[in-house]
């Protein structure tokens, strides 16, 4: 009889890719994927803890499984990822949800198979969190779910300790994969037909750091040199490590997308200092200038936090000013969320929720108006889109151009994984709609 798995993923692309590795492990054990959680023989929650609402979301969904588990005693529930890796959280989770069978962390995902087998032979929950962030384990073969895009880890962990951020505590110190392993993986993926490769790391710019003699810009050049038509993306870049060499690599390699994600977090030097970001607003603008010197039309997206402890109206206005000056193609905006164990959690002058809410609304309005203006410039132009998916609700295919702009279009044939030319007819805020132009 067939056995099914259902994975619930929260958080960033790193987690999305790790869920592909979990899927690989489960399929090796004979499980098949299913969309209906009620049909699943094993449910895995791959959690996130970057902000409080990500944690609450996971707790809510794990709580909802209680009755399902009571009705279906053989069903296994496993919870892993960043939430469980936080100090003391695995024990607390077990107490709150005693029906969870397996709890694992970010450093021992590769042992999930062992934990499942152990649990099947025992009544007791299997709770294993490892502190080690030493060696990189390359055992798991991911079962990829993001075609035509493929995620490739290049670094794990982070050494930056931005004062608001929990990531260094739950993902450990930065480790870089060997460039030869990355290049072999990339070449195999292009061979298999993937049309977009995204290199992943918390801070890709510090790739290598002595592990081997290949710097990040050099790695980009080598991946770009792989034969075949594909796009190359990377995330996330830390502005302090964004170098002229990187800008040159983007300019020289046509396969690298003209959209760089460069989180600024704030436009105020005082806030940036308290965040331990190690650059000023002027330094950030200088990096953008360097990028534009080599790649004049390059789009830039960013992350911004509002309501960081001590952020005054004046600080926040500096963020608005910087957003106006750069003209981001898109921005992910967040209200600061206090994370226990980080330096910022102990800072005085935490900002009241109403103040942060009002600030984020003003920021979102500004960002949206910039995005709308940029989208409007597309109308009438023909752009090359890599078709990524079909939106069943809209009945339209969708994909992005090399600047990361999303476009929707109609097609009688399945275009997923194909490069198509689309003539843009209309702009609707962040996305575009158009018609496929036949050659």
The residues that touch ligand 5AD, with contacts defined as CB under 6 A, are: 50-51, 164-165, 263, 265, 303, 305, 334, 336-337, 339
Least distance to ligand 5AD from the beta carbon of 324, Å?
A: 19
Q: Whose structure tokens read 């054990």?
A: 29
Residues 259, 301: contact at Cβ < 8 Å?
Answer: yes
**Residue 412: count of CB within 10 angstroms of its CB:** 6
> Cβ closer to ligand SF4: 160 or 215?
160
Which partner from the list ligand 5AD, ligand SF4, none does 177 bind, CB cut-off 5 to 8 Å by kind? none
Nearest-Å Rg of the Cα atoms of the chain is: 22
Which partner from the list ligand 5AD, ligand SF4, none does 51 bind, CB cut-off 5 to 8 Å by kind? ligand 5AD
Least distance to ligand 5AD from the beta carbon of 235, Å?
A: 10
Binding mask 179-208 for ligand SF4 (x = CB under 6 A): -----------------------xx-----
Q: Report the candidate in 272, 250, 163 with the shortest Cα–Cα distance to residue 204.
A: 250
Which partner from the list ligand SF4, ligand 5AD, none does 336 bind, CB cut-off 5 to 8 Å by kind? ligand 5AD
Least distance to ligand 5AD from the beta carbon of 75, Å?
A: 33
Q: How far is it, in rounded angstroms, from Cα 351 to Cα 335?
A: 10
Q: What is residue 349's three-state secondary structure?
A: coil
Those residues with Cβ within 8 angstroms of residue 338's Cβ, 6 or more apart along the chain or in another chain? 52, 344, 345, 350
Least distance to ligand SF4 from the beta carbon of 304, Å?
A: 12
Which partner from the list ligand SF4, ligand 5AD, none does 424 bind, CB cut-off 5 to 8 Å by kind? none
Q: How far is it, in rounded angstroms, from Cα 46 to Cα 193?
A: 27
Residues 330, 264: contact at Cβ < 8 Å?
Answer: no
Site for ligand SF4 contains 255 (CB under 6 A)? no
Q: Report the candidate in 411, 327, 326, 405 with the shortest Cα–Cα distance to residue 369.
A: 327
Least distance to ligand SF4 from the beta carbon of 202, Å?
A: 4
DSSP of 166-183: -HHHHH-S-EE--HHHHH
Least distance to ligand SF4 from the beta carbon of 362, Å?
A: 23
# of chain residues touching ligand SF4 (CB under 6 A): 10
Site for ligand SF4 contains 167 (CB under 6 A)? yes
Q: How far is it, in rounded angstroms, from Cα 200 to Cα 233?
A: 9
Residues 78, 109: contact at Cβ < 8 Å?
Answer: no
Give the interface segment with ligand SF4, choosing from 75-83, 154-162, 282-290, 311-319 (CB under 6 A): 154-162
Which partner from the list ligand 5AD, ligand SF4, none does 150 bind, CB cut-off 5 to 8 Å by kind? none
Those residues with Cβ within 8 angstroms of residue 248's Cβ, 6 or more apart along the chain or in another chain? 217, 294
Least distance to ligand SF4 from the beta carbon of 245, Å?
A: 20
**What backbone phi and psi angles, to 5 degrees, belong to 243?**
-110, 165
Which partner from the list ligand 5AD, ligand SF4, none does 158 bind, CB cut-off 5 to 8 Å by kind? ligand SF4
> Cβ closer to ligand 5AD: 5 or 279?
279
Site for ligand SF4 contains 239 (CB under 6 A)? no
Q: How far is it, in rounded angstroms, from Cα 114 to Cα 304?
A: 40
Which partner from the list ligand SF4, ligand 5AD, none does 160 bind, CB cut-off 5 to 8 Å by kind? ligand SF4
Give the interface segment with ligand SF4, choosing from 66-74, 165-173, 187-195, 213-221 (CB under 6 A): 165-173
Distance of CA 199 to the CA centre of its chain: 11
Q: How far is it, in rounded angstroms, from Cα 56 to Cα 76?
A: 21
Site for ligand SF4 contains 238 (CB under 6 A)? yes
The residues binding ligand SF4 (CB under 6 A) are 158, 160-162, 165, 167-168, 202-203, 238
């Amino acid at each position: 009889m067939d056995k099914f798995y259902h994975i619930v993923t929260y958080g960033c692309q790193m987690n999305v890719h790790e869920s592909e590795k979990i899927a690989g492990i489960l399929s090796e054990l004979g499980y098949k994927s299913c969309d209906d959680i009620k049909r699943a023989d094993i449910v895995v929650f791959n959690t996130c803890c970057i902000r409080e609402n990500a944690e609450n979301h996971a707790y809510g969904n794990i709580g909802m499984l209680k009755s399902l588990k009571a009705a279906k005693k053989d069903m296994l529930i496993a919870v892993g990822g960043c939430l469980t890796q936080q100090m003391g959280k695995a024990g607390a989770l077990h107490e709150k949800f005693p029906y969870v069978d397996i709890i694992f962390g970010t450093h021992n995902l590769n042992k999930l198979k062992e934990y499942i087998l152990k649990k099947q032979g025992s009544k007791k929950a299997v709770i294993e969190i490892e502190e080690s962030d030493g060696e990189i384990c390359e055992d798991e073969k991911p079962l990829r779910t993001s075609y035509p895009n493929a995620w490739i880890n290049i670094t794990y962990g982070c050494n930056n300790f931005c004062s608001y951020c929990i990531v260094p505590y739950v993902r450990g110190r930065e480790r870089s994969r060997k460039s030869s392993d990355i290049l072999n993986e990339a070449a195999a993926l292009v061979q298999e037909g993937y049309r977009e490769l995204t290199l992943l790391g918390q801070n890709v710019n510090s790739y290598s750091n002595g592990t081997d003699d290949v710097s990040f810009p050099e790695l980009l050049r080598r991946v770009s040199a792989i034969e075949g038509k594909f796009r190359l993306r990377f995330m996330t870049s830390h502005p302090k490590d964004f170098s002229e060499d990187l800008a040159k690599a983007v300019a020289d390699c046509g396969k690298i997308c003209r959209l760089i994600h460069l989180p600024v977090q704030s436009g105020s030097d005082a806030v940036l200092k308290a965040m331990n970001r190690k650059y000023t607003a002027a330094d950030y603008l200088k990096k953008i200038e360097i990028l534009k010197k080599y790649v004049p039309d390059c789009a830039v997206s960013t992350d911004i936090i509002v309501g960081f402890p001590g952020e005054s109206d004046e600080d926040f206005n500096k963020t608005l000013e910087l957003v106006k000056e750069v003209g981001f193609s898109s921005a992910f905006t967040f209200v600061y969320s206090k994370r226990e164990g980080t330096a910022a959690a102990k800072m005085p002058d935490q900002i009241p929720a109403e103040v942060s809410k009002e600030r984020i609304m003003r920021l979102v309005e500004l960002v949206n108006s910039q995005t709308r203006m940029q989208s409007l410039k597309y109308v009438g132009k023909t752009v090359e889109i890599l078709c990524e998916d079909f939106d069943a609700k809209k009945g339209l295919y969708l994909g992005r151009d090399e600047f990361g702009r999303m476009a929707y279009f109609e097609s009688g044939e399945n275009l997923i994984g194909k490069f198509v030319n689309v003539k843009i007819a209309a702009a609707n805020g962040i996305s575009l709609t158009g018609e496929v132009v036949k050659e």
